[in-house]
Structure formats: C-alpha cells, structure tokens
A and B are shown apart, each in its own frame.
Chain A
C-alpha cells in the first residue's frame, strides 16, 4: 500500500493489433505508414452495397492469444454491430463482439523477482475481436482548422483484452503490460508497437478506502491517451492521488456520479476530463446480419494450443529447474525474448556451465546489444564460439579479464576466436619463461618473500598484478603456484 490510506483498484482494456497481412473484413493491406487513404477499398470505407467477409487468419491469431491467456474458447462466436456516429467510423457502426466473445475467463500471472509486489494472478474477463476505426487528423489547412480522415487503419483487426479489476498499483499494471507484451511477442501475434498504435491501453481506476462500515469505493474513471507504459504508470499514480483528493473534498462515492473518461496529458503530466464523444453510450449492439457465426472445432483448438510453443512463465520455470539459475536471472533472460533464451540455451549446453553462460550473456552480451541497438540475431559471436570462450575461461586457459577482451575483440572485428586471441597477442607462456619471470619478481620484492615465509600466503596476490604488467599472458594461477614453490625452495 506504500503507506497510502487507500487501495488503488485497476482494470485494463488493451487493444492489440493482430499481425495479419490484410484487414479483418477485406483484403486491404494492414501495413503501417502508407500515404493516407491508399490502403482502402469499398468494404473498409463502407461504401453502399459493400459487404464484409471475415479474414480467418485474424481469428487464428486471436485464438492463439486467447489460449496463451488460458481463456475458454466457445465453439461458436458471432459478430455484433456497435452503433455510433463518428467521422473515423465510415459505416456508422463498428463490427465487434458483444455477448458471445471469441474467448473469456483466462488469466495472466505476474510477479516481481525483486519483490516490490506480491505474485498476482490477473484474471482476464474476455478477449474479443473487432475492427479498428480510421484516424482523424486535425490540421491547419489554408489558414483554417480542418479535420481530415485517414481510413488506412479502418478495418485492421484488433483483439481487445479486458481484465478484471485485479491490479493494485501502477507498478503492477506496468508489470502486467510488460508480461502481456512479452507473451504476445513469444507467440508472434502482434508488433506491440505503442507508437504505431498496435498496442493501446485504457485503464479503469478507482480507490477502495477502509471505513468502519466497510470499504468505500470512489467513482470509476476511465483513462485514455496513454502512449507508453511509463505514461500508464504515471497516469495511474496521478489519477489515484487526484481521486483521493477529490474524495476528501467531495466525499463522492461510486454510483454518485456517472463514469467519467479522462485523457492523460503527457506534457502536463495530468489527467483531464474528456468531452464525451456522444451523449449516451447506448451502442444498440445487435448481431451483424452481413456475417455468419465463426465456428471452431476442438481439434482446431488443440492444434492451436499445441503450436503455441513454450510461454514465458513456463520457460522461466524451466530455466530455473534445468539450469539451476535463480529466479532473477531466468527473468532477465526470458524477458529479453525467445531468441536470446535460445542463444543462452545453446551456449549453456555447449560450455556445460549455465551459470557462467547466464552471467556473461546478461552482462557482456546484453551490454553490447544495448550499446549497438541490435538484437541477438545480429550479434557477431555465435553460440558455439561464446561457449568455447567460456570453456577456456572455465578451465583457466584464459582468465576472466582476458576472456572479456577476447569477446570484445570478436564483437569489434567480427573475427573468430583463434584470430581474436592471436590479435591480442595471447599465447601460453612456456614454463621456463614463467619461472624466469617469477624469479625476477621475487628478486624485486624481498618484503613479499619475507611475508610469505612468515605464513602470509595472501601476500602473493601483489605479485600477480606485477606479473601481468610485465607480461599480460602470465596466467595468475600459474604465477601464484610457481612463486609459492620458488619461495619454498629459498
């Protein structure tokens, strides 16, 4: 509760643009960024006489998502019309799903390895398909305010995923969104790009305040216009504080006022009341008579479930059990996406040292990826090469520091392991050379020799640094061993 005298109660409606090649009810392209109104046809601009025909691929992607969210899938679902007037809605209704959504009653588990909030199961109320509207663009053209409509987006398939009000803080909400986005990327159903609008978040939020007569709930507010996860977090934090203040001033409870819609102003970092689009929210839903019900067989559902692959939650568990990673490490790897996990697993298997592989990937590999803004697919060092390098480090052939230099050399030059080692002048010192070096060191450091003779073995450590200075190829382990032997003989 972070010391606040209230609990924040949050439910989310997330609109996910599904990654189909063509729109939900016509064959127009869904590609982002084309010139306005170039990806339209009589169907998606709602010309008289045009008829929608469902793109089954959208249903298939929605099915995958719903299954990944552990939802129930009815054998039959249907389409409904949501009627309202708005210029970006060319038919005067949106084709959506009302009382028989394609899925319902699922969940997504969230947790925080750092323990900032308890593990939580966020229940999914429903996930349903619908078509997107167009985009209104308010422009100053020829010196006067002018509104223009781009219908390229109209008819793009959206999956609306609605949670129960199970989230209790902005941090949890962000964790849910992060986990949802990760899940969607694992099953490859959406680009999840908030800037391009392929993932849109609306939040319903109110406060629960304890009172002697039971919990008091403040009026629910819907927040829109949040263009990043960070914005969601901040908007919710702002809104919770605002509602508490309003409650203290007015004492208004849930039911006292109609549900309000507020928009997040990212510049000003405040939510503002929005003018209602239409006076009433009576959308007069009814079944779309132009479309037929969608049917799915148990066999199709089973096949879709089987094709899901390993989902993030299961993958984290497996990394912990199979590789003995701790929960935090598993989390970091899995949250980077499946390709990085695959990379890790190959390296871990080949070097036989999962912990070392995990550390190196989390520190050295991820740092490089971040610095260069690339993905693991573009990373110059292939898993077998990193595995070989880690084996050399593990066996002592290379010390950790030299190992890092070698990795950096391969990343910088794209060279193979042997070349990188050679380029850094790394060769194994012969026994004679090492003994000669150690004799010189001992001769130059009588104090250390004396300390060791008096039983202070740790004094040898200072010699290692000096050895490396004289010859970088001096292996610290061997230097320590040879020096100890020579002192013994003295």
Chain B
C-alpha cells in the first residue's frame, strides 16, 4: 500500500529544509524546494533538485499556503511532502490535503495531529493511558468567555497558573500569572498571540509546577504498531518558555526514571496509533515525579542531540517509515546514551538589548568546526540578509563529548570560534551560560534563565577586559591607516588563511 517515495517536496525553509534535503540526497531521493520572494537565493533553493516560487514573504502568503504547496507537489511529481517543523508541520488540514492529493505526508496521520494538537484532548489521552498530567482544566476556554469567568476558573486550578494556547507551541501564546490581578492583561496577550500565531485564540489554564525541569522523550512509530522511545532530552534552559539550550541525556534522569518516562511516552503514542517521529514532553519536579505536558507531532528543532547520542538519523527513519518500512532498531540501544550532547540555538537577537531581534546583513562569518561539532544552518554567510519575516535562527550548534564536561568544553570552544559580524547574536549569552557554576553543576529548572536575566539587570554578557581595549583601538586605527596609505606601507595582507578558505567552502556548500 505504500508508495516507493522517490521525490520529496520540502514545505519549509532555512536550516530544517537544508537538513531534510541532505537526508534525501543520502538516500537517493529527489528533492523539491519552495521559496518566498526573499528566499530566492537561500541555500535550500540552491541545494534542492527543483525549486518553485510560492509567493510573497509573509508566511501566510507563501509557506502557509496549503493550496500552493499541493499544486507544486502535483506540478513537480513529488510523491511525498516533508513539513519540517513550524509552519504547517502540525496542521492536520495540510496532512489531509496531502492525503487527498495522493501524496505521502512524512509525519503522523491527520487524525493523530488533530487529537494531539489540542492540548486539552492530548491531556485526556494521557490520562486514559495511565500517565500523570499537570493539574489543570480539561476543557479549552473560548475567546468570548469573560475575564471574570476565567478568573474563577484560575482560582479553582490554583495560582500560580500558566495560560497556554490550545493550539500553541514554541512559547507563543503562553503567560505565567502569579498574582490574580495580572490575569486580565496576561489573558489578553496570550489570546492575541495565540490568534495571530496559530489562528486560534482559545487558551486553557494549568497549574505552574514549582522548580520544574522540562524532560522530553523522542519516539518513532511505524505502520505495524511498533513504537520505540529514545533517551530523554532535557530542555529546561528556556527564555520566556522558548527553548534555547537542550542536552541529552539529562543529569537528573536515572536509568530507572528513564525507563518510566520511556514507557509512559510509548503508552501515550500507542494509545493514538501514532506513526512517524514525535516527542512527548514532561515536566519533572524535584522529587523525580513527572507529568505529561504535551505531544509534538513532528520532528523537533533539537533532534540532532538525540541523533548524536544514539547514533541514529531521525530524518532517514521518517522517510523509511513513510514508505512502509518496519522499525528494526535495537530498543535497548536507543535508551543507552553514547556520551553526551548539547545544542545551542544561535539566534539573530541582541542579548544585551533584552534579546531584541537583530535582522540585517551578515558582514562577515566564520563558523566553527573541529572534533565533536555539528552545525545545522540555512546558509548563513557573509553578505546574506537575515529576513525579518521568519524565526531569527542563524544556526543550531551542537557539540558531542564522551561525557557532559567534555561536550560543554567543546561547545565553549566552538562558540569562541564562531565569528558573526554585522548583526547581533546570542553567542555571548551562551558563553556566559556555559561558564555559570550552577549550569555546569546541573542546578537549574525552567525558571533559571528568566531569573538569572532579571538578576543581571542589563549587565553586558561579555565584559571585555580593559587590556583588550588596546587591541581594539589598535585595530581600528590600523584599518584607517590601511585605507589612507599607499600599498607599500599599509598593513601586509596575509595569504588567505585556512579559516577564511574554510569559511568560503562553507559558504558554497
């Protein structure tokens, strides 16, 4: 019943589109890219076998246009669609439109997306599977429910609470409320963000677990009913509910807890006949108790760290499952981490200006390499413009080591090698984090970053020692000197350095 799967349309952009194209190439599968106006020169377009324009820059006019994407699938003869993450990855209508057009959707069924995409319905599934859930409401709150009624519901759940978008993800449409007086403002903000990001303004309320750690289980399910869970990822390092650093395995998960989490995750997935890649998120408190949070019915941003510690390729498996192959991985090996991996999400944001987006032209870029380093990016290079229309993710940088101190040391070394100019990035923030004693010791929960940022009170992330100001002043003066002197006495040009050659090669990948 499964098609052979020979040509995949990638309904996405940026690093994830490039990452999927790479997997397809490794498997001898043809690729079709789509692009908005500003993405004409993006790496995913240059790297794919075929490319089709799908409209103006705003996502709703291009990457979110189901009709155009299905047309391109037909026109190009693609027999499958990979949605990546974000955009239409968790949109059941898109999965259904693909099915109606006889194109394989590389992901779960539309029914599973629908069910698990509603946070309240997903909680009911977890309860039915015998998995504990965070205390909270069973039903969504429609947009027209009055503030006073919501206040009563919140009081019943018990403060502090979290307001969350029913169709949400990525921290959008989510607000913490500790003081009941702040509820109306938080509710307005959550509904407005939910409605603009997901087209659905309904929200629900959950109790805020104290000192929670975010632990999640990656899984794969095939069409024969096999569901295999993987070693956990810890994603407690979040800024305003957005993951910024992930690691695997977690320092606080013992082999016994790992087995409990894995079997709980598999029970939820089996309950809905889940197929392809998905992730079950849990909150763990400081006693080791865990609660089902939600399911992400797609490939996660942070999937590379799981690949690094389990020696698997999740995108290969997504494609193999979609074409009907059975999972023949060793379940024990998937729960036995090989070393430790960490990922930093490098964003075009200025950490010294409250993480304001910093779009613009990259004037120079040297990317890190060397032992234990994996970098996934969408082609960020000197001269490339970071567009304002999409997530400001420049690259995902992952480091692997035989143990956690080694992977952290490699990450620190790689962040020092990373030279991005012309825009601000979150690299200085990560260097501060990796040097923090509490982070190194594993003493943190999901409130760690927001608390630490408040305590820093705007102090810059990297304070340059005064001794370095000599070099800064000298270099600025030498540049002026070089530009105003005749070549005979200007600063000698070095032969193109290896790093520069490497950067050029990277830029042309």
A and B interact: no
